[in-house]
Structure 1
Amino acid sequence: MQKEIMSNTLKILCADMVQKANSGHPGAPMGLSDIAVVLSHHLHLNPQDSSWLNRDRLVFSGGHCSALVYSLLHLWGFDVSLEDLKQFRQLGSKTPGHPEFGHTHGVEITTGPLGQGVANAVGFAMASKYAQRILGENVISHFVYCLCGDGDLEEGISYEACSLAGHHQLSNLILIYDSNKITIEGGTEIALSENIARRFEAQGFDVFECDGHNFDSIDLAIKSAKESCKPALIIAHTVIGKNAVGVEGSHKTHGAPLGAEVVAASKEFMGFEKDQAFVIAQEVKSAFEASIAKGMSECEKWKKSLSQEVQSKIAELQNPDFSQVQYPAFKQGDKVATRVSNGEILNAIARSYSGLVGGSADLGPSNNTLLKNEGDFPKGRNLHFGVREHAMGAICNGIANYGLFLPYCATFFVFSDYMAPSVRVASIMKTQVMYVWTHDSIGVGEDGATHQPIEQLSHFRAMPNLLVFRPADANENIACMQVALEMKAPSAFVLSRQNLEVLSPVSKDQVQKGAYVILESENPDVILLATGSEVNLALKGAEMLKNQGKSVRVVSMPCMELFSQQDQAYQDSILSNRNKTIAIEASRGMEWYRYAKVVIGMDSFGASGKGDDLFVFFKISVEEIVKKAQEI
């Protein structure tokens, strides 16, 4: 009876929150409340030490279950008050429409776009498995739970992530599938007919089923999943909007308030006063706190059990000293692709910091992302994601939020489009993930337009909190990496396939300001502004213009976002006159008009041909620079 009262309290709290906000999703929270009560008795959490490393991780992939998330956090004793529940979805509240990491105490990761949370959970589980290997099974022994729905499993990202989870036999991963057979448009049969159980069995999961409203059935399924040697899927057969009188089981409960009459009738049906809102009996609050009290006790035992060696290792992973990195030396005048120099830089960091982990979407030899002599996951630090860009990005978000590792992931820049949703979520969270995106322009050459990124730079530069670095050469690449390592934010490295001439060394301080003068002229007739491979073109153009009697300043801008953060005085010292500035970049480059009167870039997609020929064909050349400079 106590569990039923606990569950009904959750249902009413969620209904009240959505009703007061006149916005939100009551159906899934009410349908999952019985599972949430049972899960409370299995979770090892500590609200007083929410960053405890060996805590269980709980991910709500369906961010529309936020009312349930916040209700649970309040009842468990996290820093979410009853007043916070009353401010659900209001501006400035701790309880936004979808859970946000770093905003609400106890939320492990930002979810919202369906399927992301499933892949995040796989990332948590992978990080946990590797942490267990290097720290010991007595130190890391927790589970990762993920609640997901039909929408999550329909999104392709979940298929990719679960395929990898099954391949690695992540026995610490438990997915709980809220199988209520309802979508926004109606019953799932309008668009979904596959056998989910067989799908997951084929991917290497153990599959269990339960009545999602029978406490004993739920408990047995969770216990069985915890004993499995494989990742587990629990198919919980539930009813959306459970106990919502008159609309139980209807898609109408998914994304809109139930209405005052339905809420009142539902309260009466469950034994509550129909005209009272946000009521939590003291015995219910105490029951929820007691359900996770064992986690608090386990946390204290865990802390006392740690050896000095393990404590030191954890401290080293969580507080890296990147000043000790011995970066490679690159000789001025040599020709080195920035994808190649970046690979050497990653290996230098890995030798100094054991928390660097990462890999590529089956493009390691091309992206140059293999960590030498480090082995493959789960025994080593090299992650082989397979051709799974969607999941790769979200998995790295989970690895980063786990709290021990700095992850990187790589693909061709044109395929970064597949990663955009997870990069966006990382940027919202300001989570430190490094993206290595190679083959950055028409310099890709013969593969043609489908493999030549044109608009991607503009897209990612428009994304708040994301630092996009496009280094001009190997030495600038080092400085970009030094800056990125110090930033608590995601960073993208957009790198060349073709060899680029190594220029003179550049300092971290110069790159930290986003742009700097690489060739000075005090009172320039023309300012040439460029990034990446086009910096060398700008320098050659400046030499030709100098021979024609023009004074030219050349500016390298490896990170537009950092430059935009500088004060106006610094910006003016670099780009003193927009009307005299020409921006050069092998991309669509609409954002350059903020700084330049003329932009030499791409007005179309690319073509198939030799890279050098393509630069000439699309007029991204020394000759075009000279021509445009003469017209200013």
Structure 2
Amino acid sequence: MVMSEQNIMRKKMANTIRFLAADMVQEANSGHPGMPMGMADIAVVLSEHLKHNPKNPKWLNRDRLVFSGGHGSSLIYSLLHLWGYDLSLDDLKDFRQLDSKTPGHPEYGHTDGIEITTGPLGQGIANAVGFAMAAKYTGNQVNSETCELIDHKVYCLCGDGDLQEGISYEACSVAGHLGLDNMVLIYDSNEITIEGSTSISWSEDVGARFEAQGWDVKKINGHCYDDIDKALNEVKSAIKPTIIIANTIIGKGACELEGSASTHGSPLGDDIISESKTKEGFPADKKFYIPEDVLVRFRCAIESGDLYEKEWIHRHKEAPLIEQNKAMERLLNPDFSAIEFPDFSDTGAMATRDSNGKILNAIARAIPSFVGGSADLAPSNKTNLADMGDFPKGRNMHFGIREHSMAAITNAMALYGTVIPFSGTFFVFSDYQKPAVRVAALTSIQNFFIWTHDSIGVGEDGSTHEPVEHLSQFRALPNFFVWRPADATENVEAWRTALEMNAPHGFVLSRQKLKTLKPKRDFGEVSNGAYIVKERKDANFTLMASGSELMLCLQSACHLEILGIRANVVSVPCLDLFNEQDAEYRARVVDRDTKVLAVEAATATEYYRYADDVLGMESFGASAPAELLFEKFGFTIEGVMRRACALMDVEYRAVDLGIC
């Protein structure tokens, strides 16, 4: 069949991508050439449809392009360079090298044009759903019948591995349920995994699966330019999310290795690359070769992108859009000073999940970009935003029982530019969220994770639902801030601090009621992560605690005085922030001239950085009313006193617990 001139040029452009990707992997002596070579034809045609501006990667109404299969990063970087983003040919040559702009997997904030760090397979699909959801919410706030300020598409490239991961089922189910017609998933169906053919572990009908989830399904030859072009044109008028199943050949163009699993994650070798280049009329001895006419075609993205953005700005400035512009401004520039936080000073006792619910509502009333929901636990997590409607027109999001995708979806929403998201579940289910939480920390995404039922205080649900090790897990995560407030007022100050930080936060909250502490406190020091709640000038002992155990320590300190143990009491709402304070402040709060005991109903081994001993959980929990569990595991006044006496080498004796 004779190719048209347009397709002849497209093939030349695709081969340029193929050989750039192969050269990058060969130069680095590591990487994944198979997927980039197999997807090159799709990438070329997608370039003709994509609305983006290489000179302004943050233009709000750009199409989002998410690479869920981040191992194919040589394709991503080749495209970014060819389009004209701030990524030079030398950067491509530094692929996978120390401090380069082209790491092995793409990282948001590190390389211009990367929309999000997708990390482990499958998460990118959920991220794309998140971008599409953020666009729908934003559009519902700022679009009018006569002018749409938000009308872009979200494209996601994925492979077999992405679709085999459970998170993709979760996320695509959400997208289908919501009818996200701005979402396009392009599936590189090459039928190859690292171990060989996908048939050794996978035999499902992907098209039927997506049809069942409410998607439109298109099947194409991923190397036929006309097929690709037709499908991409059709999705522009879609009324539901679309998956384009593109049958491709892994390592396309790699001579005898074409279609082989060996192209997935290994360099092709100089001989194969040279032979392949010769076959396609490229100079065999030139690495990182880009024909001039190819570069000119790709660089048209700069001019067209500039025109797209200028046309959008013109729309944005039209006189009838004054109200739309005001709505957009409120989304883009939230005024945190306008939040009227609740006053809990006269509250006797309240679970921190309850105070948190009131705080969420106060924030939402002042900040129109503040949206969120729960994994089917809103009544228990207290995450419902009263009288604010349901997504996508309202603020309340219903994720269903899909914790992993909920976390990855909200990561993308947080990066969209107009949305500040939160999500809720029980703390023990944070295990399902961990990969996405890690990505949030890795790339400083301001995402707020609400985790209730924080300890053995869960009670009757038993050890399977009591998160004894989870605080330690998340405190070990760099650039992630775990808050476990001791009462409602401390919870408010935690939120004040978190909203001003460009980082992800986890709020670990109690099911049981906690007394509102009456001692005068310097709440300005909550932002330091830890502060002295009760201070003795002649102290010879220090008690550290977070959450429900702080009141226990205050009560215990009173009784310890009878035994000659004079204790300072330190509240630790955020150990991560305390660790970041200077040595002088840390030494003032935790006096190392005293003996230090940390008390927390969790494994709590991280406190040994400051403490001489830790009263924590040394086993899983049990099923019983919460007060019995605290007694069983030693979280009582007597339990703290016995541990303190042992540390101070003082003989324990019972005292009248009614004195204090």
Same fold (TM over 0.5): yes
90, 100, 103: which one pairs with 2:107? 100
Structure 1 position 296, deviation (Å): 2.2
- Give a deviation string over 1:302-331, Cα, whole Å, max 9, x none: 112113433333232222221221111113
**Partner of residue 592, structure 1:** 607
**Partner of residue 399, structure 2:** 385
Tell me, yes or no, if structure 1 residue 299 matches structure 2 residue 309. Answer: yes
Letter in 2 for 1:576: D
**Partner of residue 613, structure 1:** 628
Give RMSD over aligned pairs. 1.1
> How many residues align structurally?
632
Tell me, yes or no, if structure 1 residue 220 matches structure 2 residue 230. Answer: yes
**Partner of residue 471, structure 1:** 485
**Partner of residue 117, structure 2:** 110
Q: Distance in 2 between matches of 1:68 and 1:588?
A: 44
**Partner of residue 244, structure 1:** 254
Structure 1 position 225, deviation (Å): 2.2
Tell me, yes or no, if structure 1 residue 601 matches structure 2 residue 616. Answer: yes
Structure 1 position 526, deviation (Å): 1.2
Tell me, yes or no, if structure 1 residue 416 matches structure 2 residue 430. Answer: yes
Tell me, yes or no, if structure 1 residue 43 matches structure 2 residue 50. Answer: yes
- Would the aligned equivalents of 1:332 and 1:503 in 2 still touch at CA under 8 Å? no
Q: Distance in 2 between matches of 1:427 and 1:135?
A: 30
**Partner of residue 544, structure 1:** 559
Letter in 2 for 1:392: M
Q: Distance in 2 between matches of 1:578 and 1:450?
A: 40
**Partner of residue 474, structure 2:** 460
> Unpaired runs of 5+ in structure 2?
1-7, 649-660
Structure 1 position 333, deviation (Å): 5.9
- Would the aligned equivalents of 1:468 and 1:491 in 2 still touch at CA under 8 Å? yes
Structure 1 position 506, deviation (Å): 4.6
Tell me, yes or no, if structure 1 residue 183 matches structure 2 residue 198. Answer: no
- Give a deviation string over 1:34-88, Cα, whole Å, max 9, x none: 0000000010001112111110000000001110101100111100010100000
**Partner of residue 232, structure 1:** 242
> Unpaired runs of 5+ in structure 1?
none
Q: Distance in 1 between matches of 2:302 and 2:46?
A: 10
SS at match of 1:243: coil
Letter in 2 for 1:282: E
**Partner of residue 336, structure 1:** 350
Percent identity between matched residues is 55
- Would the aligned equivalents of 1:347 and 1:372 in 2 still touch at CA under 8 Å? yes
SS at match of 1:49: coil
- Would the aligned equivalents of 2:133 and 2:180 in 1 still touch at CA under 8 Å? yes
- Would the aligned equivalents of 1:482 and 1:508 in 2 still touch at CA under 8 Å? no
**Partner of residue 577, structure 2:** 562
Q: Distance in 1 between matches of 2:104 and 2:177?
A: 34
Distance 1:593 1:579, change over 3 A: farther
SS at match of 1:555: strand
**Partner of residue 150, structure 1:** 160
Tell me, yes or no, if structure 1 residue 69 matches structure 2 residue 76. Answer: yes
Tell me, yes or no, if structure 1 residue 78 matches structure 2 residue 91. Answer: no
254, 259, 262: which one pairs with 2:272? 262
SS at match of 1:479: helix
**Partner of residue 533, structure 2:** 518
- More displaced stretch, 122-131 vs 317-326: 317-326
Letter in 1 for 2:452: T
SS at match of 2:601: coil
**Partner of residue 120, structure 1:** 127
- Would the aligned equivalents of 1:44 and 1:55 in 2 still touch at CA under 8 Å? yes
SS at match of 1:379: coil
**Partner of residue 376, structure 1:** 390
- Would the aligned equivalents of 2:531 and 2:570 in 1 still touch at CA under 8 Å? yes
- Would the aligned equivalents of 1:339 and 1:496 in 2 still touch at CA under 8 Å? yes
**Partner of residue 576, structure 1:** 591
SS at match of 1:446: helix
12, 29, 32: which one pairs with 2:36? 29
- Would the aligned equivalents of 1:43 and 1:292 in 2 still touch at CA under 8 Å? no
- More displaced stretch, 574-583 vs 69-78: 574-583
**Partner of residue 356, structure 1:** 370
Q: Distance in 2 between matches of 1:291 and 1:474?
A: 52
Letter in 1 for 2:129: V
458, 471, 487: which one pairs with 1:444? 458
Letter in 1 for 2:180: L
- Would the aligned equivalents of 1:579 and 1:596 in 2 still touch at CA under 8 Å? no
- Would the aligned equivalents of 1:243 and 1:266 in 2 still touch at CA under 8 Å? yes
- More displaced stretch, 11-20 vs 329-338: 329-338
- More displaced stretch, 59-68 vs 263-272: 263-272
Q: Distance in 2 between matches of 1:112 and 1:190?
A: 25
Letter in 1 for 2:330: E
Q: Distance in 2 between matches of 1:399 and 1:450?
A: 31
Letter in 2 for 1:491: H
Structure 1 position 283, deviation (Å): 1.1
Letter in 1 for 2:196: G
Q: Distance in 2 between matches of 1:395 and 1:609?
A: 36
- Would the aligned equivalents of 2:540 and 2:594 in 1 still touch at CA under 8 Å? no
Distance 1:579 1:240, change over 3 A: farther
Structure 1 position 579, deviation (Å): 6.1
**Partner of residue 169, structure 1:** 179
- More displaced stretch, 506-515 vs 24-33: 506-515
Q: Distance in 1 between matches of 2:523 and 2:165?
A: 41
Q: Distance in 2 between matches of 1:316 and 1:620?
A: 47
- Would the aligned equivalents of 2:31 and 2:267 in 1 still touch at CA under 8 Å? yes
**Partner of residue 421, structure 2:** 407
Q: Distance in 1 between matches of 2:572 and 2:513?
A: 19
Q: Distance in 1 between matches of 2:521 and 2:409?
A: 34
Q: Distance in 1 between matches of 2:488 and 2:325?
A: 37
SS at match of 1:236: strand
Q: Distance in 2 between matches of 1:578 and 1:232?
A: 65
Q: Distance in 2 between matches of 1:569 and 1:189?
A: 61
- Give a deviation string over 1:396-425, Cα, whole Å, max 9, x none: 011011111100001000000000000000
SS at match of 2:132: helix
Structure 1 position 508, deviation (Å): 4.7
Tell me, yes or no, if structure 1 residue 53 matches structure 2 residue 68. Answer: no
